[in-house]
Structure 1
Amino acid sequence: MARTTIDTPGGGQSRVPAVPGEKVSGRTWLAVAAGMLGAFMAVLDIQITNSSLKDILGALSATQEEGSWIATAYLVAEIIVIPMTGLFVRVFGMRGYMMGTTALFLGFSTLCGFAWNLESMIVFRMLQGFTGGALIPMAMTLVMAKLPPSRRATGMAIFGLTATLAPSMGPTLGGYLSELYGWPSIFYINWVPGLLLIGGIAVGLDKEKTNLSLLYNADWLGIFCMAVGLGSLTIFLEEGNSKDWFDSAFINTFAALSVAGLLGWVVTGATRRQPFVNLGLYGQRNFAAATALSMAMGMGLYGSAFILPLFLAQIPGYSPMQIGEVIMWAGLPQLFIMPFVAKLSSKVDNRILCTFGLLLFGGSCMMNAYMDASTGYDQLLLSQIVRALGQPFVMLTLSNFAMNGIAPKDMPSASSLINMTRNLGGSIGIALLATALTNREHFHSARLGESVSSFALATQERLDVLSASFVGKGFDSATASDMALKAVDGIVRRESFVMAYNDGFFLVAMVLFACIGVLWFSDKVKAPSGGGGGAH
């Protein structure tokens, strides 16, 4: 394949393919497929511990609040490393960096399974996130760098699947593995895709010389500010609800650090001639619109994957495996719809396709905004399928908007920023929803409590019936009265939680619907003859 040399942000030069020919070799497709496997594995590991958290906390003798750091540590490290992938690719080459970071990821995944206490688990999860997070933007970079425009829609379709399937399949796979083989197996399973990834990259990509001198000349001040800003922001979002937000000195500290770090990153990026990632891309209208949509999509993807398992575990009392069987229906149909969307993307204005996808995705959340205590697998099946049909229309077209008109030298930066934004949107969405669930449950509990008072005739009649039932089972009248009160209180709390979950889904739906307005600020984009990114 012909190559050309270009200047890149961060110093030095990088060899990227000159405009690829229309014919794509089997080696190239193998490398792209391996990259997609890596992105799927990295996103999957964000969610995979959710189903098994109770078992993990029991084994590590940790509380629920302490256990939240198991997910937070991974997210913090992942979001810090994503913007740095462009620099590391220039230093180590695409082949060397992907193989090296995957090997480290597998090592740290294994150590997670051997963790002996909470502290060791948090450290290993952070290292796992730092090595695995790079695999997410690298998958998109592979598509843009190695495939010709006419083949990019296919590549972006597969990448879209990794971004939407993994959050859906994480709790499913985690639930099955934990129930069948114990919680350490959710970390050991990474060896299967990990070894396939290393093999595919080794065969599919050519060797490149390392350029360690770029590390000495890198924008380390900008990297430091970015790490402090994004890391502190993620901690602020992930831990804010459990620590009562700005009532906590801990949260206030990280809020201040996030603002200072992000401002420092912007200033260094604007004043340095060759920053490690090109923040100037946010000045391009299409990219800015795609970034806003990517953040909202992250809120929708991770938010819905956060609320529904909580509802199923708390209200109907589903096991991790049963929860997985419900959630998988938000993933499986995407395998069949994505090739169809990829073909449409070259024929239809992508704004129309994305609007259709947002309407379906938001509509599925609206369908979940009317659940009751008896809602289960059968009632949720249709909304999950509607969600699965809508997500590919959004993910594929978002990639086309983001990469439209991006110069080859800026592709690693664009890929890093768009994926970083989606993950950040997920953290924001989960933080907002966790807070909303808490506040709305208190609100509904107070409102229901006003109606279900001991002075209300209906409540008195219900208490009498329940007391009589408990007396009939052999309890004395005083105990029966207490049990009746607790039973009514339990019903009030259950219903207030159900209404809070409904409000959460309604909030996600409103965010997705609002994105339709933002979408139409972008230019008309079609994928050229089935490929990603040309404007027509």
Structure 2
Amino acid sequence: MTQDQHLQAEAPMTFRAWVAVFGAILGAFMAVLDIQITNASIKEITGGLGATIEEASWISTAYLVAEIVIIPISGWLTRMLSLRTYLTWTSSLFLFFSVCCALSWNLESMIVFRALQGLTGGALIPLAFQVILSLPPSKRTVGLALFSVTATFAPAIGPTVGGYLTQAFHWSVVFYMNLIPGAFLMFAIIYGIDKEKKNLDLLKQLDIWGILSMAIGLSSLTIFLEEGEREDWFSSNFILVLALTSLVFLISFVWIELKTKNPFINLRLLVRKNFGFGCLVNFVVGLAMYGALYLLPLYLSSIQSYNSVDIGKTMMWAGLPQLFIIPFVPKLLKRFDARVLAFVGINIFAFSCYMNSHLTSLVGYDQLMWSQIVRAMGQPLLMIPLSTITTGLIEKSQAGSASGLFNMLRNLGGSVGIAVLSTLMSVREKFHSAKLVEGVTIYSHETVERLAMYKKLFIAKGFDVATASDKALAALDVTIRKQAHVMSFNDCFLFVCGALIASSLLLLLCDKVQSPTGPSDAH
């Protein structure tokens, strides 16, 4: 069948179908946004719940653990319950638990409700991707372009939205805001998605050991990655147990899924060249994307003393320009090889990280805006072609497994990235601090001059000579530590840059995939 004959044979996209697509993408957008949106409001949330900042880390961890566990299971649940039924239930429960989060009365209740919110909202991400993979080939690129908004734009504006709502109203509004788009989401599901017969017979073939081993392994790994740095890694028995548990159960999960007759997720897709390499690149993209979202706000708050609103204003430049670039990517895919576009996009993203690897204690909004704009130019060129390369040769019957694996690995990459970067920052800060201290001696002309300057400033403020000398030494110590901290940020951005460049080579090893605007033999 020629391409023209294939396109003529496609069923036309109706208004109802487009409503379903927009609804599914809106659901995924809300789910991804909720990962980041609480981070900018964490001080206000902990204050309202009477918890410490350290304890509040579980507010985000609970959501991430539940989300990463439900993503791989969503394909199997969809086959059993039907897409419409599962989307209806998981969306309505996501909205219900969002309200419960807003009404939380203490830290424990918030953690429980955040876990349940992640368990229901996390399913919205792979389900939206599955809806797009089920579109006619000529419309799939448009769907992937819309989905990329959830993957890159939502995390970028999360701190902005969360910070603004918290400053203007109250931290609970961060959760209540889900109700407005949630109303359209429910309408889109009911109106746009056809009823299908449930396949409850799948319960008889329930891969219970595969699901349990996956759930225990992934949840242990996520907690290990999220809490490892705070617990000083393997010096903590808690972290050591988590590491061993995740290792044993994830190995068991892989073995069970490869041996069982009816696995709930098809891991064999990963041995296909395009899908395997694409998922590896997606893992690194998750590391870089969520890693950058971790590093920049931390730099702005700790070095520049920005509040949540100022941080949001800086970060929004990584998001807003994407809205103007994304519509052009499907047209570019018609003219250029997806591998070339993805290669260019990922290296533009890498260059933006390189731009951020030259921070000083004076770099702020004006300078960072440009690196954020460069990042916003690269991510759309990467995400849409990457999805095309990875899933372009996947059969429609495997859409659930492909969606679950692809999205799970990006989220897992984010958790790994934050854990690696937080540890790298700590190690490199100690290294730079030690190196800087080596050069600070009474025989150093620069040291003597700096101490004299500080001493004069403190004497001018009314301190006696002895006190001024002590304060000058303390001020010099603060300066050294601050400089070491900035240098550790630079090292982290260089690491992210290198990881992106290295992973870009995998894209060149993939087979050429015809743009979804044309037919795919796998479909």
Shift of 1:533: 6.1
- Listed as ranges, the matches of 1:50-129 within 5 Å are 50-129=39-118
Name the counterpart of 1:6. Answer: none
CA distance in 2, matches of 1:22, 1:384: 41
Instruction: State the 1:468 CA deviation.
Output: 2.1
8 Å CA contact 1:78, 1:130 repeated in 2: yes
CA RMSD of aligned residues (A): 1.5
Residue 453 of structure 1: aligned partner: 441
Partner of 1:319: 307
CA distance 1:533–1:456, change in 2 (3 Å): farther
Matches within 5 A, 1:122-521: 122-145=111-134, 147-521=135-509
CA distance in 1, matches of 2:36, 2:92: 21
Residues in 1 aligned to 2:238 and 2:337: alpha-carbon distance in whole angstroms: 47
One-letter amino acid of the structure 2 residue matched with residue 217 of structure 1: Q
**How far apart are the structure 2 equivalents of 1:387 and 1:21?**
36
What amino acid does structure 2 have at the position aligned with 1:75?
A: L
- CA offsets per residue over residues 167-207 of structure 1, 9 Å max, x none? 10111111101101111111111111111111111110112
Change (3 A) 1:534 1:209: closer
Which position in structure 1 is the counterpart of 2:3? Answer: none
* CA offset digits 1:206-230 (Å, max 9, x no partner): 1223333423431011000000111
SS for the counterpart of 1:346 is: helix
Change (3 A) 1:378 1:485: same
Aligned partners of 2:131 and 2:268: how far apart in 1? 22
Contact 1:20 1:148 in 2 (8 A): no
- Distance in structure 2 (CA, Å) of the matches to 1:210 and 1:23: 26
Separation in structure 2 between the aligned mates of residue 29 and residue 510 of structure 1, nearest angstrom: 39
The answer as to whether partners of 2:392 and 2:516 remain within 8 angstroms in 1 is no
Q: Verify the 8 A CA contact 1:294 1:422 in the aligned structure 2.
A: yes
Deviation at 1:20, TM superposition (A): 7.7
Structure 1, 255-264 or 57-66: larger mean CA deviation:
57-66
Q: Name the structure 1 match of 2:17.
A: 28
Larger CA deviation: 61-70 vs 406-415: 61-70
Unpaired stretches in structure 1, ≥5 consecutive residues: 1-18
| DSSP-derived class of the 1:525 partner | coil
One-letter amino acid of the counterpart of residue 398, structure 2? D
**Structure 1 residue 432, shift from structure 2 partner:** 0.5
Taking the aligned partners of 1:417 and 1:20, their CA distance within structure 2 comes to: 30
Q: Matches of 2:243 and 2:520 in 1, distance apart?
A: 37
Give the residue type in structure 2 aligned to 1:508.
V
Give, in whole Å, the separation in 2 of the partners of 1:193 and 1:216: 37
Measured after TM superposition, the shift of residue 411 of structure 1 is 0.6
* DSSP-derived class of the 1:210 partner: coil
Displacement of 1:107: 1.0
2 CA distance for matches of 1:508 and 1:107?
37
In terms of mean alpha carbon deviation, does 322-331 or 114-123 score higher?
114-123
Cα distance change of structure 1 residues 518 and 34 upon mapping to structure 2, 3 Å threshold: same
Matched residues in 2 for 1:533 and 1:479: separation?
A: 77
CA contact (8 A) 1:366 1:505 kept: yes
Q: How many percent identity over aligned positions?
A: 50
Distance 1:512 1:78 in 2: 25
Letter of the 1:495 partner, please give it. Q
Q: What SS does the corresponding residue of 1:523 show, helix, strand or coil?
A: coil
Residue identity opposite 1:386 in structure 2: V
Shift of 1:38: 0.7
Matched AA of 2:118: G
CA distance in 2, matches of 1:149, 1:435: 44
Please say if residues 392 and 514 of structure 2, whose CA atoms lie closer than 8 Å, have aligned partners that are also in contact. no
Distance in 1 separating the partners of 2:401 and 2:9: 20
Equivalent position SS for 1:520: helix
Query: What's the offset of the Cα at 1:534?
Result: 6.7
| Alpha-carbon distance, 1:53 to partner | 0.9
CA contact (8 A) 1:44 1:170 kept: yes
Distance 1:501 1:249, change over 3 A: same
Instruction: Give how far 1:104 is off.
Output: 0.5
* Cα distance in 2 between the residues matched to 1:503 and 1:20: 54
Task: Look up the SS of the partner of 1:182 in the other structure.
Answer: coil
TM-score (norm 1): 0.94
